[in-house]
Amino acid sequence: MFYTSTRDKSVKVTAAQAITNGISAEGGLYVPCEIPEVSRDFIRELAALDYIGRAKKILSLYLTDFSEEELDYCVQGAYKAGKFSAKEVAPTVELEKGVNILELWHGPTCAFKDMALQLLPYLLTTSAKKTADGKQIVILVATSGDTGKAALEGFKDVENTNVLVFYPNDVSAMQKLQMCTQEGKNVAVCAIKGNFDDAQTSVKEIFTSAQVKEKLAANNMMFSSANSINWGRLVPQIVYYFSTYCDLLNQGKIALGDKINIVVPTGNFGNILAAYYAREMGLPVKKLICASNANNVLTEFIESGFYNKDRDFYTTVSPSMDILVSSNLERLLFHLSGENDDFVKSCMEGLFEDGHYTVDKSVYEKIRGIFEGGCCDDAATKQTIGDVYKRFSYLCDTHTAVAVEVYYNYARKSGDTTPCVIASTASPYKFSPAVLEAVGSADAVCEDGFVMMERLHEITGEPIPAPLAAIQSKPVRFNQVTERSGMTDVVLHMLGI
Ligand SMILES: *Cc1c(COP(=O)(O)O)cnc(C)c1O
C-alpha cells in the first residue's frame, strides 16, 4: 500500500515515509492510493477480538510496510491495560433504543485525541527506524489547549523522542495546570507571550528554519509533527468505528450487514474523515452526520457546496470545535473528485487567496449522498446537556452535546430511524463550568476548577476521572514564559544542543 499527495498525484511514498514526513513537500496531505475493502467475514472475525486485536487488524491493512511484530509492539504499547480507564478502551453505551454513544475519552487526558496520540509515538518511532536511521525525533507543538496535553502524555518517556509544547496565555486554568504538571523525562512546556496564532506561526518558523534543522541533524535529531494532518493520527481513528459496530453486533443491537448512522462533533474534520474511510472500506454506514457549533462553516458547506471561512469567529463552550479552516476536508475533496489533484489545488488556492471556494456539481452530489450537516449554538448545547441528563441520567460534555442535538434534529426532520452511534469526544469534567451550569445552577460556577469538579460530582454522582483529580496534588514542573523571539533558544536548550 502506497500513499500519494492530495496536491500532487505523482508522489508515491510508504506509510512509514508518510508518517515521518507528516506533510508532503508541496503542501498536500498524504492519502492512501487505494482504500482497502473488507468483507462481512472480516467484520465477524473482528467482533471476536478485543480492542488491541481489532486495532492490529485494521492497521495492518494500511501500514503494510510494518511487520507483524512492529504492529504488535505499537498497539500493545498504546492500548495496554491501565492506559485507558475503560477495559474496552472505547466503550459503546446505549442512550435509548437505537441511539448509542461511543465514548472516546477514557484515555489519560480525558479527550478523544488520546485515541490517536497514544498510538502515534509508536508509529512515528517505528517509521523513523525505517526511514531516518533511528534519528531522535523532536516534536514541537503549538496548542490552544487539548492537543498539547494529549501529545505530552503520548510521547512521555517514549524512547528516542522529545516533545516540547508552547501554549498561549489564554488557555484555561485547568488546561494550563494539566500541562505544567506533566511528568516524563523527555518533555518540556513553555508559555509564550502571545495568542495561539503567534505560537503556531513561530513553531512553523522554527520547524522550517534551515539553521535549526542543520543543528538538529548534526546531533542525529529531526523534527516531526504530531498535528492532526499526520496520517499517523488519522489511521488509529478508523479503528473505533469498526470497533463500535462490532460492539453493537455483540450486544445484539444490530445484525451483521445492518446499516448505522454515525454522528461526529467536528472541528478539523479528522474524526469524521476516519468514519468516511471506514464507510469506504465496507463498514455498513448509511449517513455520516457532521455536527458543528456556532462556527458552522461545515454545515453551510455540506448544504450548499460553498466553503467560506470569511465569517465571524465565535468563542464557544465547545472550544475544540472553534475552527474555520477544517484541514482534513482536503482529503475528502481529493477522494470525491476522483483523485483530482488539480481540483484540490485550485480549491486550496481559492481558500488561501479569497477565503472561499465552491465544489462542482458531481462532488457536491457525492457529498449529499454521504453526509448530513447540522449545527447548534451554546444555549442549545447547554439545554441538551440538561435534557439528556434528565431523560437518560447520562452526563455528556459540551462537544458531545452538540452532536446529540444535531442528531435529534436530523432524526426529527428526516424520519430516519437507522440505529445511530454518536461520537463522544470529551469527559464532561473537562468542561465543568458549562456542564455545571447545564445540570446544576449557574451559581455553582466559580473560579476554581477543582471546586467545580467536586460540585459536579455532588450533583450527578458521576466519578471524577482519576487523571483530572490527580492534578491537584502534582507539583508544577514548568513555569517558563518566553517572548516569541526566545522560542528557538528554548528549543535548543531543552535538547541540550
Ligand atoms: C479535537 C476535538 C474535536 C474535533 O475533532 P476533529 O477531528 O478536529 O474534527 C471535538 N471534540 C473534542 C473534545 C476535541 O478535542
Q: Are 192 and 481 in contact (CB under 8 A)?
A: yes
Q: pLDDT tens digit string along 434-461?
A: 999 999 877 878 888 899 999 999 999 9
Atom of ligand 1 nearest to the CA of 270: 7
Is 270 near ligand 1, meaning CB less than 6 Å away?
A: yes
Give yes or no for residue 358 having a pLDDT over 90. Answer: yes
CA of 265 to the centre of ligand 1 (A): 7
DSSP 331-390: HHHHHHTTS-HHHHHHHHHHHHHHSEEE--HHHHHHHHHHEEEEE--HHHHHHHHHHHHH
Half-sphere exposure of 396 (CA within 13 A, CB side): 35
Q: Are 113 and 426 in contact (CB under 8 A)?
A: no
Q: Are 385 and 432 in contact (CB under 8 A)?
A: no
Q: Are 156 and 182 in contact (CB under 8 A)?
A: yes
Q: How far apart, in Å, are the Cα atoms of 226 and each of 181, 262, 394, 462? A: 20, 26, 33, 32
Q: Where are the alpha helices (DSSP H) in 48-145?
A: 51-62, 68-79, 113-117, 120-131
- Residues with Cβ within 8 Å of 425's Cβ and at least 6 positions away in sequence, in order, are 104, 105, 111, 112, 265, 271, 320, 397, 399, 400
Percent of residues in the chain assigned helix, strand, coil, to nearest 5: 50, 15, 35
Which pLDDT band holds residue 208 (cuts at 50, 70, 90)?
confident
Which residue's CA is the nearest one to ligand 1's atom 1? Answer: 320
Q: Are 336 and 366 in contact (CB under 8 A)?
A: yes
Mean pLDDT of the region 75-85: 95
Give yes or no for residue 178 having a pLDDT over 80. Answer: yes
Any idea of the CA torsion for 31, 35, 41, 47, to the nearest 10 degrees?
20
Is 268 near ligand 1, meaning CB less than 6 Å away?
A: yes
Atom of ligand 1 nearest to the CA of 400: 11
Which pLDDT band holds residue 224 (cuts at 50, 70, 90)?
confident
Residue 246 burial by CB count (10 A; 0-12/13-18/19+): exposed, middle or buried? buried
CA distance 269 to 328: 5
Which residue's CA is the nearest one to ligand 1's atom 15? Answer: 320
383: cell is: 439545554
251: cell is: 450486544
Atom of ligand 1 nearest to the CA of 267: 9
Q: In what order do the strands lie in the sheet with 30-32?
A: 8-13, 3-5, 30-32
Is 271 near ligand 1, meaning CB less than 6 Å away?
A: yes
Q: Ligand 1 pocket test: which of 238, 399, 422 has the largest number of ligand atoms within 8 Å of its C-beta?
A: 399
Q: Ligand 1 pocket test: which of 113, 174, 234, 271 has the largest number of ligand atoms within 8 Å of its C-beta?
A: 271
CA of 146 to the centre of ligand 1 (A): 9
Helix or strand or coil: residue 305? Answer: coil
Which stretch of DSSP H or E encloses residue 224? Answer: strand 221-224
Q: Ligand 1 pocket test: which of 230, 321, 329 has the largest number of ligand atoms within 8 Å of its C-beta?
A: 321
Atom of ligand 1 nearest to the CA of 105: 13
Q: Which of 121-125, 144-148, 252-256 has the largest mean confidence?
A: 252-256
CA of 171 to the centre of ligand 1 (A): 16
Q: How far apart, in Å, are the Cα atoms of 205 and each of 125, 197, 211, 221, 289? A: 24, 12, 11, 17, 36
Is 399 near ligand 1, meaning CB less than 6 Å away?
A: yes
CA of 441 to the centre of ligand 1 (A): 27
Mean pLDDT over each residue of the chain, to the nearest integer? 94
Is 267 near ligand 1, meaning CB less than 6 Å away?
A: yes
Q: pLDDT tens digit string along 227-269?
A: 888 999 999 999 999 999 999 999 999 999 999 999 999 999 9
* Confidence (pLDDT) at 227: 82
CA of 230 to the centre of ligand 1 (A): 15
CA distance 28 to 334: 10
Atom of ligand 1 nearest to the CA of 113: 15
Is 145 near ligand 1, meaning CB less than 6 Å away?
A: no
Between 200 and 308, residue with greater pLDDT:
308
Give yes or no for residue 170 having a pLDDT over 80. Answer: no
DSSP 14-51: -HHHHHHH-S-TTSPPEEESS-----HHHHHHHHTS-H
437: cell is: 451550569
In the chain, the percentage of residues whose pLDDT exceeds 70 is 100
Is 276 near ligand 1, meaning CB less than 6 Å away?
A: no
Q: Are 300 and 306 in contact (CB under 8 A)?
A: yes
pTM reported for the whole predicted model: 0.95
Give yes or no for residue 83 having a pLDDT over 80. Answer: yes
Q: What are phi and psi of 173, to 5 degrees?
A: -60, -40
Mean pLDDT of the region 7-36: 95
Q: Are 441 and 121 in contact (CB under 8 A)?
A: no
CA distance 125 to 379: 44
CA of 15 to the centre of ligand 1 (A): 24
Query: Which of 166, 234, 251, 149 is closest to 202 using CA atoms?
Result: 166
Catalytic (active site) residue 113: yes
Which is the catalytic residue, given 56, 57, 113, 149?
A: 113
Mean pLDDT of the region 176-196: 93
Is 111 near ligand 1, meaning CB less than 6 Å away?
A: yes
Mean pLDDT of the region 415-423: 98
CA of 443 to the centre of ligand 1 (A): 29
CA of 312 to the centre of ligand 1 (A): 20
